[in-house]
Structure 1
Amino acid sequence: MNPAPLQDWLAHRTPDARRFPYDRVVDAYQHHGKHFVPHEWTTPLQLTRQRLPSVRGPHQQLAAFLDIALDKVDDRFDYRTFLGLRLLPIPDPDSDTEPAQRLLARRDRLHVLLLADLAAFELRALDHPAAPPGRLRPAGPLVAKRLRHAMRAANPALHRLSLPLREVNDPVALARRLVTMTCVDRTEAERLMLRTTLLPVSTVHDERLFLRTLQCFEVTLGLLAVDLTAAVTAVTEDRLSMAGVRLTLAARLLHETAPLWSMLATMQPQAFHRFRTHTDGASAIQSRAYKLVESLCRTPEPHRLRSTAYLSVPDVRDRIRAGQISLDDALSAIRADRDILAESPTLADGIRAFTAAVFQWRRTHYRLAVRMLGAERPGTGATPGTPYLLGSRDTTVFGDHTTPRPMADVR
């Protein structure tokens, strides 16, 4: 891989951010793996970052890309840079004020694009077995199983986007249709987003499955945080039925992620352990979106706020300390005087549905983590590992407003 295009771009007196050779840089990172990218690439990228103030054109995207590409060099590699989250348009309750249906459509579009990109990679590996990257490449039947789960994960979003795929028994053929369909109307900005958010640390085949699946989860969790924020607002404004509707929709969306777990379960354990040796510093406990969802359900106890889980997401911790209202807080504020669950069956149904969805999500997450890590193995970045992946030992999601079936202590 020759860094000449990057050096040529830098040779201009005032380089244009819009002409930055993203594709060549991404190609190099995918060829070597981020952990192994040679200095002839990282050194000019560092120089690019130094010159950013003098670069012509909008360079916010370039700055975000360099932040992700140089995390290993800067010794600040973490979950957010590993997944390239700054370059993904993840819904956020602090900045997104669009109507709920528009935000859902945006999430669905991004969800489908991520899955289609993963499918395209798996199909290329099937069609060209000798093409790189090929370390620990899975066999054809396992890839077909993986694609079947990917199509199941994409289907609900495709139907909402009025882009349903005609059912066929062959998951490989169905995946080809999805890839073709998304390529037809994919914008250049979307193509670039997909490329720049896939900088694996290694050349192990299954790492791309891991990255894309976690990105899909992050996109969904971001929208759940928006839904929960809307539910909190609805309760404080005494619109209990509306709060129930948002919780029911959030529960449905969380249930739709179930095929993602099945898809991730096709990852080969030996492949996971091979690339995991290079992900030190990145851990799922650093997920801002998950902590937002958790804290919007119920305000964490003081000892939880002092834990590694919340120290890893200081902005969420600051929100809570500044008085963020959780749904549990909002319900408790009016529950003393009213039987709100009897008063609003829609709210009661929404709470029960979302609680059940969260516990199912946590159980599935835990089972898969045990399979990959073992019950007592440490996590990445010296984090506590499997027992810490779910976040909380609580057997309730919204305080005592529901009484879900208890689960084992997984913290």
Structure 2
Amino acid sequence: MISETLLEAEQKFVRSGVIGVGGTCVQAAEATTDELSGRTVENALRQWESGHTEFPHAAVAAHYQTVGRHGVRPHLVAMLRNFHLDNRAHHVLGAWLPMTFDAQNGDYLSYVGLDYFDQVVRFDDAQRVDAFVAAAGMDLALLEARALGRSAHASQVVRARAATRVVTQLDRIAPDFALDPAVAAAGLAALAQPCADYSSFASVAAEALNGVPDEIGSAVRLTLLPTTRLHDEQMFIRCIQIFEGLYRQVATAISTAIRELRRGLTAAAKERLDRASIRLEAVPALFRVLTTMPVDAFAIIRGFTHGRSAVQSRAFREVEFACAPLDPRDFEHAGRIDIGEDTLQDVYLAMRKTHPDVRVVEESMRRLDRAWVAMKRGHWGITLKVIGTVPGTGGTAGASYLKHAATMSLFPRLSEVA
């Protein structure tokens, strides 16, 4: 259960009058009494229950974005739980509805919406994953531009610029999605102005976001279900979702490179690993957004999401398990993953003795290692800034755990053949 102290701290943020960074979300600030009370969404659910309409996904998501998962009235939560029991066979409702009643017992997967993601986006389709990542990036920028339009305080200006910069990097973060170059150009034009008007950029980005496949756009809209009314949590969820997409693409690149090496396709393996590195080398743009998180805001979010740790990310662990054998102590907080094949390091070292041409892959492996370690160091640095040295979630030791993780190479035995 959430403590009264934590609820009071969230209430203080919401009543501060600040919209955006360090304050309430735009949806809560603009909501009507009926939207805040849940009457609007309850009426929509009753209509669906009587068979008159399609399930009101958008209305439910909008209510959760307005009041947070912990602010939804218990009888509405009970309705949604019952709907899930009756519709578990429906692959979309069955995967999405649990996000609406997991406030007390949810995990990282349900927080980010990964089960729903698997059903709709599919982790094994690089173009669809990148479409989701690009859409999440544009939605992040639009979220911050909208907040800036309501409250142009200094912290919100910094956040809006950082989020816009993410969009200008989408050709590196999500290269398998053909984003209209006009979107990045509009972002760069806005960033070039000291006192930028983001309305033109927002218009271009919104049009591009509407152009993604319908089911991808729906997945982006419906997986933003924060636990609080804090604007910062909506940013936080979007960033986590983008990272999840990146992890999945990197893990897929590594497993594919292993198969290509075995088939003697060294040039293809090298190119695949280099493309994965390019994605990771663009991560600092995301970190700039995350560093705008106020410490006291994150303390509240962390309290509401305790136990939902990114250490539970399967895609992240798949990257490290696919690269080299791990010491059991290195995954004591997350559990082992069986990748079902030899690691990239094993395959490379075995082939290096008999296939000299495979050595062209080594520099690409080292580049990937540098990019991955740099990303983990960035995570460690943000953790020190935002939560300090207090214990972490998921059973970890917090910043000290991340510091140790940041020193771990993806390919420790490459130093033997340097």
What's the TM-score, normalizing by structure 1? Answer: 0.81
Counterparts in 2 of 1:287 and 1:162: CA distance versus 1, 3 Å? closer
Q: Check the 8 A contact 2:120/2:216 in 1, yes or no.
A: no
Q: Secondary structure at the match of 2:87?
A: helix
2:370 to 351, 356, 361: 356
What is the rounded CA distance, in whole Å, between the counterparts of 2:96 and 2:404 in structure 1?
A: 29
Match of 1:313 in 2: none
The DSSP-based 3-state class of the residue aligned with 1:277 is helix
**Counterpart code for 1:36:** G
Task: After superposing the two structures, state which structure 1 stretch, 383-392 or 361-370, moved more.
Answer: 383-392
> In 1, Cα distance between the equivalents of 2:310 and 2:123?
23
2:333 match = 308
Q: CA deviation at 1:393?
A: 6.6
Deviation at 1:403, TM superposition (A): 7.3
Which amino acid in 2 is paired with 1:65? Answer: W
C-alpha change, 1:299 and 1:278, in structure 2 (3 Å) is same
User: Could you say if the C-alpha distance between residues 6 and 95 of structure 1 is closer, same or farther in structure 2, counting changes exceeding 3 Å?
Assistant: closer
Q: 2:400 aligns with which of 374, 387, 399?
A: 387
**CA distance in structure 2 between the aligned counterparts of 1:235 and 1:163, rounded to whole angstroms:** 34
1:397 corresponding residue in structure 2: 410
CA–CA separation in structure 1 for the residues paired with 2:247 and 2:83: 33
Deviation string, structure 1 residues 39-73 (Cα, Å, up to 9, x no partner): 121011111012216xxxx8211111112212225
Q: CA deviation at 1:284?
A: 1.1
Match of 1:112 among 134, 142, 146: 134
Residues 21 and 369 of structure 1, relative CA distance in 2, 3 Å threshold: same
**Partners of 1:255 and 1:357 within 8 A in 2:** yes
SS at match of 1:300: coil
**Preserved CA contact (<8 Å) 1:279 1:380:** no
Select the residue among 19, 42, 67 that pairs with 2:98. 67
1:204-215 superposed matches below 5 A: 204-215=230-241
- Who is 1:378 aligned against? 391
| Alpha-carbon distance in 2 for matches of 1:192, 1:42 | 21
Choose from 339, 347, 350 the match for 1:333.
350
Which residues of structure 2 form unaligned runs of 5+? Answer: 1-37
The equivalent of 1:48 in structure 2 is 83
Corresponding residue for residue 409 of structure 1: none
> What's 2:168 paired with?
155
Residues 168-177 or 191-200, more deviating: 168-177
* Cα distance in 2 between the residues matched to 1:95 and 1:141: 38
- For residues 52 and 91 of structure 1, the distance between their equivalents in structure 2, rounded to whole angstroms, comes to 16
Deviation at 1:325, TM superposition (A): 1.7
Which residue of the partner structure matches residue 124 of structure 1? 146
Q: 1:248-299, CA deviations, whole angstroms, 9 ceiling, x for partnerless residues?
A: 1111111012200111111111111122110012001001110000111112
Q: Deviations over 1:59-94 (max 9, x none)?
A: 211111112212225x2x1111111122236999x9
Q: Give yes or no for the alignment of 1:288 onto 2:314.
A: yes
Code of the aligned partner of 2:79? P
Which residue of the partner structure matches residue 140 of structure 1?
A: 153
The question of whether the paired residues in 1 share the 8 Å contact of 2:113 and 2:223 is answered with yes
- Shift in alpha-carbon separation, 1:29–1:180, aligned structure 2, 3 A: closer
> Aligned partners of 1:181 and 1:61: how far apart in 2?
26
- Which moved further from structure 2: 323-332 or 193-202? 323-332
TM-score, with length taken from structure 2: 0.79
Aligned to 1:319: 338
What residue identity is the alignment partner of 1:308? H
* 1:289–1:390 CA distance, 2 compared to 1 (3 A): farther
Residue 358 and residue 158 in structure 1: after superposition, are their counterparts in 2 closer, same or farther (change >3 A)?
closer
Distance 1:227 1:389 in 2: 24
Q: Give the secondary structure class of the aligned counterpart of 2:338.
A: helix
Given candidates 17, 23, 28, the residue that maps to 2:58 is 23
Partners of 1:78 and 1:404 in 2: CA distance: 41
- Is 1:81 paired with 2:110? yes
Unmatched 5+ stretches in structure 1:
130-138, 311-316, 406-411
Equivalence for 1:134:
none
Structure 2 distance, partners of 1:390, 1:217, is 19
- Percent identity of the aligned residues? 27
Q: Tell whether the 8 Å contact from 1:272 to 1:372 is kept in structure 2 after alignment.
A: yes
The reply on whether 1:198 has 2:220 as its aligned counterpart is no
143-152 or 209-218: bigger deviation: 143-152
> Would you say how many aligned residue pairs link Structure 1 and Structure 2?
366
Q: 1:83 to 1:334 in 2, by over 3 A?
A: same
